[in-house]
Each structure stands twice: as structure tokens, then as C-alpha cells.
Amino acid sequence: MVIILKSDPDKNKVDNLRLWLEERGITAHETVGISKTIFGLVGDTGSIDIDALRALDIVEDVKRIQEPYKLANRKFHPDDTIIKIGDALIGGGNFTLIAGPCSVESEEQICAIAERVKASGAVLLRGGAFKPRTSPYSFQGLQEEGIRLLKKAREVSGLPIVSEITDSAQLPLFEDVDVIQVGARNMQNYELLRRLGKIDKPILLKRGLSATYEELIMSAEYIMSGGNQKVILCERGIRTFETYTRNTLDISAVPVLKKLTHLPVIADPSHATGSAELVIPVSKAAAAAGADGLIIEVHNDPANALCDGAQSIRCEDFEMLAGKLKTIAQCAK
């Protein structure tokens, strides 16, 4: 940590600051520049409150030079984390496809899609049971019944299942779900993260709409600091000024998160773009950028297509896409 002092600071206050730091086992190395003096701090600065230092009237600015996350930090854990879910592996050079419908609607729907996406190469089945919706008047998912149908589809297809939790009170319902997803809107629901740190189950953690890389990793750190090291990070688009697409997929997030952490990093092109026709090029892009996998919404084009979301591709599109993704993922290495 580096403290930049204001010009001509009160000498007594500087001494007080130095003393206060020393009480905490931290030495301040002084560099007197032309117009400013800086303190380079030596010692464990992890517990120092930067905002408190910034509030001092002799301090102009404080700059952290060390990442605030430890368990998720690639520097301390150079090897890739590989998470095993049934027969599926995520991380460590594997390219893993997770697919399924936006919402679970019926046994026929979820089982049919499960079979189709498995045949095309998906190794995990996704499906929404609890749907966080902007409007209280919108359909909120089949909830408990949705989880039951997902398990049914797992039975039929053999695919482990992934579903989103929206409140810690739902945890008992997720006991037999293979991967618990934390959605973008709950990325900083710290009470929920803390609870998920106490269970032994992979957590698919989506980046919040306006979360920085560091904030996403700190949310992973919440889970990991509770004891659960099985966190999968997911880039799903951020909010920007561009409104043509629902969100803006931040493609650099993939290589950056893989550099900063040892956790698997996947992408969600469906929510990032909000448009079926963009899912295919953006999926390819994420694979090319080195993602460890993708989570894609797929629908089975029934007679009444009006019920399917704008962002889901058809099973046949998924099949064609899956083939090309393999080649691209190879080139990403």
C-alpha cells in the first residue's frame, strides 16, 4: 500500500500516522519527491481500512498495490482448479458445455431438451426454476415443481443439473441439485454467498451487471472463505450505454479472470446478448478467448413458439454450434 501525502503536511499529524501504522506492525518507507511525499508501507496491510486513511486531512490518496483476494488468487494457487460434477469436468483445459431451456416448463419439455443437448455434447443441463423477474407481475418460474422436473430430466438423461437460487431460504430444495447458480442480481447478496460457503457443492457465480473483475472475485472469495472452494466464474455481460444488445459481453473478462484467479471461467452468451441470432457468433468468440465452457439457452421449437425466450437458440442450432466450438477451443490454447 502506498500513501501519498498532501503538500506541506502538518508534521505532528504525519508522526501520528506513522505511529498508528507502527502499532499495527507496519513500517512506512518515506520517499520525498519534488512536490509530494509518499509512504511505501511494509507489513500486513490487509486489515487496514483504505477509506479511513483517505479521510485523513494530511493524505491526498492511498493506492493499494496488492489484490484484496487470497483464496481465489492465481498468485498463491498457480494451478487451475478443476471441478468434477458427475462425469463432467470444468477447468484445467477442458471445454464444457452447459445447455438447457430458460425456464423449466414441463416434464416433456425439459426431458426432450436434455436428451437433445446431451446428444450434441452438453455435459450439464441448465433450467430455471426460480426466475428473478424485474416485474412482480411476471411469471416467476415453476419453483419447487421446476426443481422436481429437473431431477426427472437428470434421471432420464444422466446429465447433472444446474439451477439458480434466489434466496438462502431455498437451500433445502437445492440439496440434490448438482450445481447452484447465483445470478447477476445476487452477486453481492453477501448473506447468500456466506451460506453457500458452508456447503460442499459447486457454485456457478455470475458477474453482476456493473461489477468489476475484482468485485466478482471478491464475491467468490466470500464463498471460498467459508470453506467451499468450488466456484465457477461466469461472464454474462455488463451494462453499458449500448442498448441494441441486452448487455455487453466483456470478452476480455475471460482471459483476465483466468489470469487473476485459478477458478474455471465460463461465459453466458444468451443473457449477454438477449438475442438468439447473436448467441452463435458470441459463443464462438468466448471459446476463442479461452473460456473453460459456455452456458447456453436452448429451446425445442414447439408448435407454439411464442412461449420461448428471444435469447434461446434451437436444439439443431446448438448441435451445429457445438461441433465448431470444439475446433475453436483447440485454437484458443
Q: Which of residues 136-175 bind its own copies (CB under 8 A)?
A: 136-139, 166-169
Instruction: Between 123 and 287, name the residue whose CB sits nearer to its own copies.
Output: 287
Instruction: Between 163 and 311, name the residue whose CB sits nearer to its own copies.
Output: 311
Q: Per CB under 8 A, which region of 49-57, 90-98, 115-123, 156-164 contacts its own copies? A: 49-57
Cα 48 to Cα 27, 31, 41, 64, 237: the distances in Å are 13, 21, 11, 10, 32
Beta bridge pairs of residue 125: 99, 161
Q: State the binding string over 60-99 for its own copies (x if CB under 8 A, else -).
A: xx-x-xx-xx-----x------------------------
Quote the least distance from Cβ 154 to its own copies, whole Å: 25
With a CB cutoff of 8 Å and minimum separation 6, the contacts of 56 are 13, 17
Q: How far apart are CA 234 and CA 264, in angstroms?
A: 9
Q: Per CB under 8 A, which region of 111-119, 148-156, 171-179, 309-317 contacts its own copies? A: 309-317
Q: Which of residues 261-300 bind its own copies (CB under 8 A)?
A: 272-274, 276-278, 281-282, 284-290
Q: Which of 134, 172, 175, 200 binds its own copies (CB under 8 A)?
A: 134
Residue 176 near residue 162 (C-beta atoms within 8 A)? no
Does residue 302 belong to the site contacting its own copies (CB under 8 A)?
no
Q: How far apart are CA 215 and CA 224, in angstroms?
A: 14
Pairing between β-strand 2-5 and β-strand 59-63 as defined by DSSP bridges: antiparallel
User: Whose CA is closest to 108, among 325, 302, 318, 330?
Assistant: 302
Does residue 12 belong to the site contacting its own copies (CB under 8 A)?
no
Phi, psi of 265 (to 5 degrees): -125, 120
Does residue 56 belong to the site contacting its own copies (CB under 8 A)?
yes
